[in-house]
Chain A
Amino acid sequence: MTTPMIQFQDVHKSFGNNHVLRGVNLDVMKGESMVIIGGSGTGKSVLIKLVLGLLPITSGKILVDGHDTTKDERDAFLARFGMLFQGGALFDSLPVWKNVAFRLLRGSLKRPKDEARAIAIEKLRRVGLKERVADLYPAELSGGMQKRVGLARAIAAEPEIIFFDEPTTGLDPIMSGVINELVREIVVEMGATAMTITHDMSSVRAIADRVAMIHEGVVQWQGPVGDLDNSGDPYLDQFINARAEGPIEAVR
């Protein structure tokens, strides 16, 4: 059996008395598109931040390519990842193109400015933004445009592993479709491993190879996207059919 690209082994994460993750076990294979679903506040964003070491793990282990993430050399480790933050997290002191090309303007992936700019504009085009946008500042963009700039930045250096935290939230249906296709393309063409968090069921069906649902701090259900509708799991059924009644309490 091949080693999974990302392996969560009994991962726990607490903030004080708030026990967010309580034993997550999940494997994401190389070149696979894994989609994480689950209620708001269940710890999906936290899960991704744990992989990148942005938050310390309370207990358990996360292996990337079979290596313990806390022991690897940080720079080389992080160079393999791209991340779209839920809020975009664009640097508001830099124009859009420098945001997108951030990695290409410094460090080990540094290249000439013209070249970096050309790549940035190409990536912006892929997320449906015109060249004109390149010289604006993030504060001058709409929320959905900022999200797409964040997406362009995440894919700019063509990373092996990409995390998308709600890539289509705040986008119109057509643009959502474009982004879904883009995520799919990145996995198929670049052979990247992707982990996407989304609340949008049409995104789930368009993007996912496999789906994992987080509930009460554990992976409640996981399986191929084709099994989504006949999983027999009452929690998953309630979630994907958007029902207020069911085992998941609507008031938390």
Chain B
Amino acid sequence: MTLLQSLLSPIGRSTLGLMATVGRISSYAFATVSHIFRPPFYLKELGQQILFIGYFSLPVVGLTALFTGGALALQIYAGGSRFNAESAVPSIVAIGMVRELGPVLGGLMVAGRVAASIAAELGTMKVTEQIDALVTLSTHPLKYLTVPRVVAATLTMPILAGIGDVIGIFGGYLVGTTRLGFNSAAYISNTIDFLQSWDVTSGLIKAAVFGFIVAMMGCYHGMNSGRGAQGVGKATTNAVVGASVLILTSNYILTELFFTS
């Protein structure tokens, strides 16, 4: 009995801990969203974050998409040749990129880059009492720090994913035309003909959700960082891991919602 208990109690404890964290993050998210629509608005901070989160993530997202699109074309060609379906390469690359890989891989890359840096920055602000100082200067940390980051990420992530989609398809096109013997015009018309607007839109909606998740996790873990350098390190790790897991989970849920029925 005691052995069983000692084996089971850590599981119970961590489950309870997880539930508590989920609850805290949810209420933090609700508070953030409610602050988005109430003044004061910090537009300058929003602009800085759009630049940092959106613009400076372009190289990472672009490279990821380029090579993913290329690899996808090779794989689909190899797989398709088993059914004499090589001609499906352009459309499957496009659909795969636009619906899944563009937003998901883009989201994961941004999670690594942005969630980590937000958590480290806010965590350091927390341990050096800068967040307390903000409060004493009559500035709400949620409004001044969290809202600009969350709004910036939610707005720019779809744009990043859209650019990633185009670059990814282009990667497939490069591989298709140079390595797999596709005719350039045929590849392009095949891509465009089979792609539906909902394929693209659904991917962009996903990207917006992922952007929200990334910034949210960075801010939540940063603001609740433990004391000292160790606390900040832990907050950074938790932010990246949490954001990545949530992106993959919510991706499945969104896919269910969008594409079944």
Contact = CB atoms under 8 A, between A and B. Distances in A.
B and A form one assembly:
yes
Interface stretch (A25-33, A62-70, A78-86): A78-86
B137 A87 contact: no
Interface stretch (B28-36, B126-134, B187-195, B230-238): B126-134
A54 B136 contact: yes
Interface residues of A, number: 23
B128 A89 contact: yes
Nearest to B42: A106
A108 to B, nearest CB: 7
A51 B128 CA distance: 19
Contact of B130 (A78, A91, A103, A106): A91
In this complex, the interface size class of chain B, counting residues with CB under 8 Å from chain A, is 10 to 19
Contacts, number: 48
A102 interface: yes
Contacts of A121: none
A182 to B, nearest CB: 19
A81 B40 contact: no
A93 B42 CA distance: 15
B18 interface: no
A85 B138 contact: no
Interface in B109-159: 125, 128-130, 132-139
25 contacts: A52-B132, A52-B135, A54-B135, A78-B138, A79-B138, A82-B136, A83-B133, A85-B129, A85-B132, A86-B129, A87-B128, A87-B129, A89-B129, A89-B130, A90-B133, A91-B125, A91-B130, A92-B130, A102-B137, A102-B139, A103-B137, A103-B138, A106-B42, A106-B139, A107-B139
Interface of A: 49, 52-54, 75, 78-79, 81-83, 85-87, 89-92, 102-103, 106-108, 153
Interface of B: 40, 42, 125, 128-130, 132-139
